[in-house]
Amino acid sequence: MLVLGIDVGGSGLKSALVDNSKAVIVSDVFTVSTKKLTPEEFGESVKKIVTHFNWNGIIGCGFPAVVTNGIVKTATNIDKKFINTDLVELIKKTTNCQSFVVNDADAAAMAEFKFGLCKDVKGLKLMITLGTGIGTAIYKTELIPNLEFGLITMKNGMIAEKYCAASIKTKENLSYETWANRLDEYLKEIDSLTNPDLIVLGGGISKDYEKFEKYMSLKNKIQTATFYNNTGIIGAGISINIIP
């Protein structure tokens, strides 16, 4: 079945048609850039995407917040107006399309854990997406939704995603070494809390892993996302089948 997958990020909405039985993108990737995303701008952006693809089917959406039954519960890196917004209803009202909305890291994780190179890895698997913030998801025999390990307080007193998200590297003009050392601190902290058998790094910066791999203490546990920066789109497209 084809699903319109939408991955909502800090700078825009990326979208494509996804064959959710194979977890493959079967169209161009269309991006709508945003500034400060509000519920109104989100609705209009989804409408632009639907128009681009001339779409009237199901939409799967990965959204950067805790999402329960399509309703946004947190707003760490998005407008506070999103809290308690029913995105399923908003998408229906704006586009007349049925939709399924989940946490973006959960969507990305299920793409990797069900269809990526780590699908046959046994044990506890942890997904960490590095972007504007830090998204996290954990899976063994099923997904535990809406984990927010990107918001843990580091030993230096800083919130993790304000210390070592990919956006911080850009914002503070950090070298790969300096940023990667921060990331390494975070990964060791999360490893001590969860003791996963595998850590999958996602987000656009994951494609540059060879530039900072040597600074990772846990490199024997780390694998980069199979689908790189398209993981979120694919995850959104398949999430209607596999996220409870």
pLDDT tops 90 at residue 216: yes
Q: What is the pLDDT of residues 35-69, one digit of tens each?
A: 778 999 999 999 999 999 999 999 999 999 999 99
**Rounded CA gap, 57 and 54, in Å?**
10
Q: Which pLDDT score, from 0 to 100, does residue 219 have?
A: 93
Distance of CA 114 to the CA centre of its chain: 15
pLDDT tops 60 at residue 141: yes
First to last CA, the chain: 19
Q: Which pLDDT score, from 0 to 100, does residue 241 have?
A: 73
Q: What is the pLDDT of residues 64-107, one digit of tens each?
A: 999 999 999 999 889 999 999 999 999 999 999 999 999 999 99
Q: What average pLDDT does the structure give for the chain?
A: 94
Beta strands in the chain (DSSP E): 2-8, 12-19, 24-25, 30-33, 59-63, 67-68, 71-72, 99-103, 125-130, 134-139, 143-144, 198-202, 222-224
Q: Where in the chain is the domain with CATH 3.30.420.40?
A: 2-103+231-242, 107-228
Q: Is the pTM of this model over 0.95?
A: no
Q: What is the pLDDT of residues 168-190, one digit of tens each?
A: 999 999 999 999 999 999 999 99
pLDDT tops 80 at residue 242: no
Q: Rounding to the nearest 10 degrees, give the CA dihedral for residues 10, 163, 205, 130.
A: -60
Residue 198 pairs with which residues in a beta bridge?
A: 125
**Rounded CA gap, 70 and 219, in Å?**
36
Q: Does domain 107-228 have CATH number 3.30.420.40?
A: yes
Q: Which pLDDT score, from 0 to 100, does residue 159 have?
A: 97
At 239, the pLDDT band (50, 70, 90 cuts) reads confident
Q: What is the pLDDT of residues 110-122, one digit of tens each?
A: 999 999 988 999 9
Q: What angle do CA 50, 86, 11 make, to 5 degrees?
A: 55
In this structure, are residues 107 and 239 in contact, taking their beta carbons and an 8 Å threshold?
Answer: yes
Q: Which pLDDT score, from 0 to 100, does residue 244 have?
A: 57
**Lowest-pLDDT choice from 1-5, 32-36, 146-150, 160-164:** 32-36
Name the CATH superfamily, with its identifier, for domain 2-103+231-242: ATPase, nucleotide binding domain (3.30.420.40)
Mean pLDDT of the region 126-146: 94
